[in-house]
Structure 1
Amino acid sequence: MAVDHRDHTQVQEFFAARAADWDRKFPDDGPAYAAAVAELGLAQGDVVLDAGCGTGRALPPLRAAVGAKGTILGADLTPEMLTEAVRNGRDQDGVLLRADVGRLPLRSASVDVVFGAGLISHLSQPAENLRELARITRPGGRLALFHPIGRAALAARQGRQITDDDLRAEPRLRPLLASAGWHLVSYADEDRRYLAVAVREG
Structure 2
Amino acid sequence: MHGRQGERTTGIREFFAARAVGWETRYPDDTPAYAAAVGELGLLPGGRALDVGCGTARALPLLRGAVGASGTVVGVDLTPEMLREAAALGRRGAGALVEADSELLPFREGVFDAVFAAGLVHHLPDPAAGLRELARVTGPGGRLALFHPLGRAALAARRGHGLRPDDVRARPRIGRLLDATGWELLLLDDAENRYLALAVRRR
Judge same fold: TM > 0.5, yes or no. yes
String of CA shifts for 1:98-150, please: whole Å, max 9, x gaps: 00011111010111001000010110111011111101110111110000010
Matching of residues 142-157 of structure 1 within 5 Å: 142-157=143-158
2:65 corresponds in structure 1 to 64
2:92 corresponds in structure 1 to 91
Equivalent pair of 2:119/2:148 in contact (CA under 8 Å)? yes
Name the SS of the counterpart of 1:115 in structure 2: strand
2:159 equivalent in structure 1: 158
Does 2:170 correspond to 1:184?
no
User: 1:105 aligns to what?
Assistant: 106
1:17 aligns with 2:18: yes
User: For 1:161 and 1:150, how far apart are their aligned partners in 2?
Assistant: 12
**Which residue number corresponds to residue 47 of structure 1?**
48
- CA distance in structure 2 between the partners assigned to 1:23 and 1:191 by the alignment: 20
**Which contiguous aligned blocks of 4+ residues in structure 1 show a shift greater than 6 angstroms?**
none
- Residue segments in structure 2 that go unaligned for 5+ positions in a row: none
C-alpha contact 2:60 2:75 (8 A) present in aligned 1: yes
* TM superposition score normalised by structure 2: 0.96
Q: Quote the Cα distance in structure 1 between the aligned partners of 2:114 and 2:134.
A: 10
Q: Which amino acid aligns with 1:191?
A: E
Question: Given the two structures, how large is their TM-score scaled by the length of structure 1?
Answer: 0.97
Q: CA deviation at 1:21?
A: 2.2
Deviations 1:15-73 (A, max 9, x none): 00110121111111111111111222211111010000000100111110110011000
Cα distance in structure 1, aligned partners of 2:202 and 2:38? 21
Distance apart, 1:79 and its partner CA: 0.3
Does structure 1 retain, via aligned residues, the 8 Å contact 2:41–2:144? no
